[in-house]
Amino acid sequence: MIKENNLMARTGLLGMLCLLTLLTCLSCNQSEEISYSRHIKPILNEYCLSCHGGIRAQGGLSFLFEKEAMEAQTESGLRPIVPGRADKSEIIKRMRSNDPELRMPKEGPALREGDIQLIETWINQGAQWDDHWAYAQISNPNVPDLDTAWGSNAIDHFIYQKLKEKGLQPSGRATPDELARRLSFDLIGLPPTLENAGEFLKNPTNVHFDDLIDRLLDSPHYGERFASMWLDLARYADSNGYEKDMGRSVWRFRDWVINALNDDMPFDQFTIEQLAGDLLDVPSTDQSIATIFHRNTMTNTEGGTEDEEFRSMSIIDRVNTTFEVWQATTMSCVQCHSHPYDPFKQEEFYELYALFNNTQDADLDSEYPFLMETDSVQKDLRQVRAKILALKGEAVGDLNYIDKSEIKNLAHPRLFGHFADDFQHVLIANDGEFSNSSYNSNNQKDKKYYLIFQDVDLNDLEEIRYHYFCRGDDAVIEISLDSIEGPIISRTSMTSSPGKDKDWQWKSFPLEVSQNGIHDLVFHFINTTGDFRNGVVSVKEMVLGYQGEETTQALRSWQDTLLALYQGGIKSPVMKERTAALRRPTHVFERGNYLVKGAKVQPNIPEILNHEDVIVVDRLDMAKWLVSDKNPLTARVMVNRIWEQLFGRGIVETMEDFGTQGFPPSHEELLNYLAYQFSHDWNWSIKALIREVVSSDIYQQSSRTSANQLEIDPFNIYYGRGTRARLTAEQIRDQALAVSGLLNTKIGGESVMPYQPEGVWQITYSSAKWEAKHESDKYRRGLYTYWKRTTPYPSMTAFDTPSREFCVSRRITTNTPLQALVTLNDPVYVEAAESLGAWMTKQGQGDLKKAIERGYEKALLKKPNEEVLEILHGLHEESVQPMAMHVSMDRNKKKILAPMTVVANAIMNLDAFLNKS
């Protein structure tokens, strides 16, 4: 098994086949045009780049960039490549040398003669350095003409052309039942229902198939199905990941993805809102929620960890994830040194880092900043808001709009940590308490701790009161205007609060100078000695005392209610850019170590991808660039993802890597065509893309295999037959629940905790329990299952779901005995079999065979043949007696299963049931 694996991994089968063909034709025709990117680069990658590439440029030579290679100032002074003159090119001499001191590569076997000849020919042809296919601008290729009537759309034309070249023919159409199942799983992740597919099954015409496509694309379950794909990329999970792995509230993001997909939000908008929704003009709540995409990074709340270290790790993850998801480019290699194989320099990584380096989140335990709201709380908030406004004698206005700034105003004149518009080093807790305390206070001396509250009305302000607790006598609280260097309006030395436990005190401080107008307030903690035990102040709330302000008891009480509601709302961590004054500078991390800072860099995008010298300043610019026609990768990468979802393998199999170490596309023209259409004619509509693909004849082919096909195209690279693939973890669960009638089809909401064996859920730092809140939660779709990163849901991990600690582009399908144990024995699957069995018995009306037939048909949309029916009937017969005996032996008369459950369980373990074909 081994040889193939590694060879495949290295070049891809397709690459090898191409190379094989090429070698054959080269030997007969030396005038064949050799391409650097297609033919030469893979050889250099394999033999040369590990010493002459991004990590090391031994002897002064690197092949990473054209300039480096062609104009190399080598230690030997010799020219490695002399265009047009292979005989004068040092690399050819070195590759052929018999002298072990001289021969390249220095270690390992020599190059194959065929490879050396290729390089020779390329040099003699002028050593032209062309772009790697994936970095070339996407153009709209011509659709090939066909000499056959076969084919429904352009996709078929591209595919047919290649099939013909290979001496293959497309297969016939799959049977209606196969097709309905395939389409339904592919589009909504659930088996077809008779309501949806009935017409088509009865009368499988193209019109009815198109109609089925429409129904499925319009189904609200469509969004759920493709959300599963996206959530792997977004490393979405319900816990924050490291040691304590505490829960976090990000499910609003999952729902945002589902809704966006259902609404067919254009992919460019889908991109911009997730990467930079917070930077849009007046972002809506939804656009804020979208930015959770990058708040799905992990937060380390382990005692004694340095927040800045893990903040840095999050930023690194954001760069890597953005580039994997939208560019299929492996930037993680570039953290520590230039890319070993692809043309990316180390500083380019940190230029991207700079784009992400200015958000407010800072690995705080509270996950601040967050958006606080839920629909139900919003509703109450609105009512309370109306009360307050009425008491204040102000107009109530638009009841539908309320946000943090308005709450701030209504609760006025009280300020909390989470009302701050920006902060530096301060710890902000969930309830809004803020302090200059931190676990890592060894270098507290050099840090400034402050919060900024923007746009505070200072007219008639007389005093400021805090509810505080102070440890020691070394703290000073300073309040300044507009910036930390601005005019100081209040400065107070604090003294130690009495009591060991936090004994909160009120203290009021008159303003030193009276002020007018609207200003930013800067609340600054100063610890004069730097000894943190002697100068930590925690502040629960700050009250602005205005002259003549009368707070009636009623108003005060409604304000308290408002705040309590606000505090009790869902806190979704979101992205929020820092204010200009607090922008962080970005430096290269030497060897990837965040403690060793190198040269300072400015935001930029990597040169190789920046075809038109686009200038980017912030995330929004970058997001817009990703989905502009100046970007060569985004459309190709997304089209490839959708293709993989539908065919089980991408046109580029290495979904995560379009670089020179990835596999080349099996159908480059087709990929370009779809990418171009997707980003132009279809206006980034994912549904349009999917509709086009599933409408093609190749999608609808039968997956039966002939000996000829197996011989010529064993891996079905050329799509001469339909795809057969195991369902995903979510689909396997959802199918069992759907077929058995147990499925709760509710869409969205908080994540749920369905049955999980005891002992799996281990949480040390909280009393949270794994339990279903509602009975109906037990049968929700798989994607709603609570995703705890350190102990993911075991019956789904058995079917290859990732832990979601990091971005995953493709799940590798495995086939293990643990999977068999899940679908045979996991109580969820047993209950499903029980429910299906009961339904079958009822349907049979005393006729066993009829019951079995109905059950089989329900599961697979077709009647069992006689042989299958006999076997299942036999199983029922065989089950009756032992099960009855079990009952008579069981003194407790515990409920046991009926024989039909055993039959249903067998049906639900059929390979045909666990696969789509």
Within residues 699-728, the interface with another protein by CB under 8 A covers: 703-705, 707, 710-711, 714-717, 724-726
Among residues 747, 790, 838, 862, the one that binds another protein under rule CB under 8 A: 790
Cβ at position 853, least distance to another protein in Å: 14
Q: Are 909 and 837 in contact (CB under 8 A)?
A: no
177, 273, 805, 853: which one binds another protein (CB under 8 A): 805
Out of 245, 273, 520, 692, the only residue in the binding site for another protein (CB under 8 A) is 245
By CB under 8 A, residue 28 contacts another protein: no
Concatenate the DSSP letters of all residues of 253-317 into one string: HHHHHHHHHHTT--HHHHHHHHHHGGGSSS--HHHHHHGGGGGGS-B---TT--HHHHHHHHHHH
Q: Which pair of structure tokens corresponds to residue 717?
A: 């690279």
> Taking contact as CB under 8 A, which single stretch among the options 129-137, 238-246, 377-385, 566-574 is the one that binds another protein?
238-246
Contact between 306 and another protein per CB under 8 A: yes
Number of residues in contact with another protein, rule: CB under 8 A?
136
Q: Establish if 765 lies at the interface with another protein (CB under 8 A).
A: yes
- Candidate residues 77, 100, 304, 517; the one interacting with another protein per rule CB under 8 A: 304
Q: Please, are residues 173 and 209 in contact by the beta-carbon 8 Å criterion?
A: no
| 641 alpha-carbon distance from chain centroid | 12
If binding is defined by CB under 8 A, does position 266 make contact with another protein? no
Residue 899: partners with Cβ closer than 8 Å, 6 or more residues away? 876, 879, 880, 883
- Smallest gap from residue 803 Cβ to another protein (A): 6
Which 431-450 positions form the footprint of another protein (CB under 8 A)? 438-442, 444
Please count the other Cβ atoms lying within 10 Å of the Cβ belonging to residue 180: 26
Window 450 to 489, contacts with another protein (CB under 8 A): none
Report if residue 49 touches another protein, rule: CB under 8 A: no
* Closest distance to another protein from the beta carbon of 547 (Å): 42
CB of residue 546 to another protein, shortest distance in Å: 39
Q: How far is the CB of 231 from another protein (least distance, A)?
A: 17
Rounded Cα distance between 239 and 373, Å, is 19
| 822 is a site residue for another protein (CB under 8 A) | yes
Nearer residue to another protein within complex by CB, 619 or 721: 721
In the complex, what is the shortest distance from the CB of residue 243 to another protein, in angstroms, rounded to a whole number? 4
Closest to another protein by CB, 481 vs 897, is 897
Among 130, 199, 211, 243, binds another protein (CB under 8 A): 243
φ/ψ of 589, rounded to 5, equals: -90, 115
Alpha helix segments (H runs only) across 393-428: 404-411
**Which position has the token pair 């969205």?**
748
CA 634 to chain centre: 15
Q: Which stretch binds another protein (CB under 8 A): 67-75, 259-267, 692-700, 804-812?
A: 804-812
Q: Residue 633 Cβ, how far from another protein at the closest point, in Å?
A: 14
When asked if residue 912 is in the footprint of another protein (CB under 8 A), the reply is yes
Burial of 535 (0-12, 13-18, 19+ CB in 10 A): buried
**Cβ at position 683, least distance to another protein in Å:** 31
Beta strands in 406-502 (DSSP E): 414-415, 422-424, 427-428, 434-435, 449-457, 461-471, 475-481, 488-493
Least CB distance from residue 537 to another protein, whole Å?
Answer: 16
Which residues between 621 and 680 bind another protein (CB under 8 A)? Answer: 648-649, 653-654, 656-657, 659-662
Question: Residue 229 belongs to what H/E stretch?
Answer: helix 221-233
Among the listed ranges 156-164, 212-220, 303-311, 452-460, the one in contact with another protein (CB under 8 A) is 303-311
Stretch that binds another protein, among 182-190, 364-372, 555-563, 793-801 (CB under 8 A): 793-801
Backbone CA torsion sign across 426, 428, 429, 431: positive
Q: Which of 98, 501, 867, 893 binds another protein (CB under 8 A)?
A: 867
Considering just the CA atoms, what is the radius of gyration of the chain in Å?
A: 32
84 binds another protein (CB under 8 A): no
Q: Is 796 one of the binding residues for another protein (CB under 8 A)?
A: no
Q: Which of 186, 224, 278, 342 binds another protein (CB under 8 A)?
A: 342
DSSP 115-136: HHHHHHHHHHTT---PPPGGGS
Q: Which of residues 171-190 bind another protein (CB under 8 A)?
A: none
Binders in 517-556 for another protein, by CB under 8 A: 531-533
- Residue among 43, 227, 333, 334 that touches another protein (CB under 8 A): 333
Tell me how far apart the alpha carbons of residues 1 and 14 are, in angstroms, rounded to a whole number. 18
Are 268 and 213 in contact by the 8 Å Cβ rule? The answer is no
DSSP 879-904: HHHHHHHHHHH-TT------HHHHHH
Specify the residue, 396 or 710, whose C-beta has the smaller distance to another protein: 710
| Identified binder of another protein from the candidate list 112, 448, 600, 680, rule CB under 8 A | 112
CA distances from 192 to 176, 184, 185, 258, 508 (A): 11, 5, 8, 20, 68
904 with 897: CB under 8 angstroms? Answer: no
The SS3 assignment for 410 reads helix
Q: Which stretch binds another protein (CB under 8 A): 135-143, 273-281, 294-302, 459-467?
A: 294-302
